[in-house]
Chain A
């Protein structure tokens, strides 16, 4: 019974989100409120069915798949657009770009990755936690920091800020771990 209820409330949540997306602005809050209510009901049902850990997993998987019923249902099929010809340069490759690509890669992997690995260990051991929690924090902090810095290296408006942050982290890790 919980399974049927969970699926029904989740379908209701997705439908409300869809109608909110489709409807004019003045109707959106109503649908969003209903979606929120259905979300809470759905989470409660999934939790009752399988506990929090499995219930949350089911909730996200079901949401990912249910959305496609709505997407495919309203998919528009239009005529092919006009095409523009492309120049063909078969078997040619820009070696300078390729070299720069690998220089960047080494920078990201060795330099940023190295600093983040040491820094995440240093940060996790500064937290008032037990050994298993420190390792769990370090395990998820390391890739998050690393990914964050790679993105920041592209999005930073001033490049020196990136280096300042990296130097700060490196110094902190060095002082803490030395």
Chain B
């Protein structure tokens, strides 16, 4: 429990205590979630770039999709509840047919192509969703961290009593601490709406499961399905449907209902059973809500439509969180702006702890562990990508092995008495890993060197190498950093 001996201290000071305490607990998780979140924002594009050389096209006919579906069902007879067909979009102009177990691209000639294989970005997305923990626990933990982010934002605002007075102030060069404080505060204040939005939408993703369970238990006799149907809508009940869906007829009927329809994907629910039906998900213009849905039976007859404008306000709010959180509503340019703002939030998480460490009059194990961890994360991301490309090493294993080893190796490095900080070594290693990953990727996929997806991935890796190299060139020799100034905020 917090000590309340000095209740005469001003609110801003007490809020700063709360801010420091919550920040210290949440910083590690926040850094993991923010960094992986920045990559997840461009996850669809990264998925495309990680596996270049796949046939890409935007035009398709209903017959073409129907044939691809039939080929997939004939070849992959394993039991599945759903079959999805993903249509080409700006982010990934490829057609994918998949069931609950595996996914395949469709070639330009209509045949089934390569198996979808982008293990690294899937690892990053899983890290962002549930920190690679079992799904329920991990999702709850991310919800908890999101609630703490909200607490950090509010306590930060309460603690920053000179927010308006310093709104445009940035002092560079005076001392590392002053510069960090100014950047931390300015980025936090000007990104406030974005940070609140990220915190609240993350809370939804992490905590809605718990709240649905509780509410269903108290008010619906534990019937979660009934609860979910009331909030998100129910599925139609169909009987005696044909074993194969007439995809061609359903696409044609969709186009007759909505001539300019550009579906994101379609799902066959209860696939192969006599209750199966088809659902198309279409992006709705000028709305954040995920999709406008059209449903058809197995013969392609129209059953019904979910118009976002007709949904209850609560459902509209909850269904708008995904696009808002991931910036998936206005193309790649907006995603890049999300990457910028997300990177700022990542920097805020790091600089918050750095400021706290810098203000202390001593250096101990926390300094070493934190300093190592900050640069161990990008190094682990780069190394896991490199090993996944060269040796097909499972990125989950390589990422966590690299992260834990690099984070803890700083302790051994300290006893070594080297003239360089351990973080400096990690910066060089990150540069080298990114560069090696770009080189190995270029060699592995050299046959696709005339394509945009090939060069996009190389560009991303070279940007990573450049950023870590710039960070290295700005490193401070150890002797100087150990006598760093302890300036006023």
| Chain A residues in the interface with B (C-beta under 8 A) | 17-18, 21-22, 50-51, 53-54, 57-58, 60-61, 63-65, 67-68, 70-72, 74-93, 101, 103-105, 107, 109, 113, 117-118, 120-121, 125, 129-140, 142-144, 146-148, 150-151, 153-159, 177
Contact = CB atoms under 8 A, between A and B. Distances in A.
Contacts of B242: none
- Output the residue of A50, A61, A80 with the most chain B CB within 10 A: A61
A132 B315 contact: yes
- Output the residue of B170, B212, B414 with the most chain A CB within 10 A: B170
Nearest to B24: A101
A131 B218 CA distance: 13
A143 B146 contact: yes
B215 interface: yes
Nearest to B485: A83
B170 to A, nearest CB: 4
Nearest to A134: B314
B231 interface: yes
B412 to A, nearest CB: 10
A157 B7 contact: yes
Given A131-B230, A150-B18, A117 B210 contact: yes
B411 interface: yes
A76 B171 contact: yes
Given A64-B191, A133-B314, A77 B363 contact: no
Closest 6 CB pairs of A and B: A132-B314, A51-B286, A154-B18, A133-B314, A147-B151, A136-B314
Interface of B: 1-2, 4, 7, 11, 14-15, 17-18, 21-22, 24-25, 143-144, 146-148, 150-151, 154-155, 158, 164, 167-175, 178, 186, 190-191, 193-194, 197, 199-200, 203-204, 207-208, 210-212, 214-215, 218-219, 227, 230-232, 286-288, 311-315, 317-318, 320, 324, 329-330, 334, 337, 340-341, 360-366, 368, 411, 414-415, 482-487
10 contacts: A61-B341, A64-B190, A64-B341, A65-B341, A80-B174, A85-B483, A101-B21, A143-B200, A143-B207, A150-B18
Contacts of A143: 143, 146-147, 150, 199-200, 203, 207
A160 B356 CA distance: 29
A13 B170 CA distance: 20
Contacts of B483: 83-86
Nearest to B341: A64
A129 B348 CA distance: 38
A75 B175 contact: no
Given A51-B287, A86-B363, A121-B215, A104 B1 contact: yes
A27 to B, nearest CB: 16
Nearest to A136: B314
Nearest to B170: A75
B210 A86 contact: no
B174 A142 contact: no
A140 B204 CA distance: 7
B485 A81 contact: yes
Contacts of A91: 364-365, 368, 411, 414-415
Contacts of B362: 86-89
Contacts of B207: 117, 139, 142-143
A125 B217 CA distance: 13
A72 B190 CA distance: 13
A131 B231 contact: yes
B314 A117 contact: no
A87 B11 CA distance: 31
Contacts of B337: 61, 65
Contacts of A63: 190, 193
A78 B200 CA distance: 39
A60 B200 contact: no
B423 to A, nearest CB: 15
Nearest to B487: A81
A126 to B, nearest CB: 11
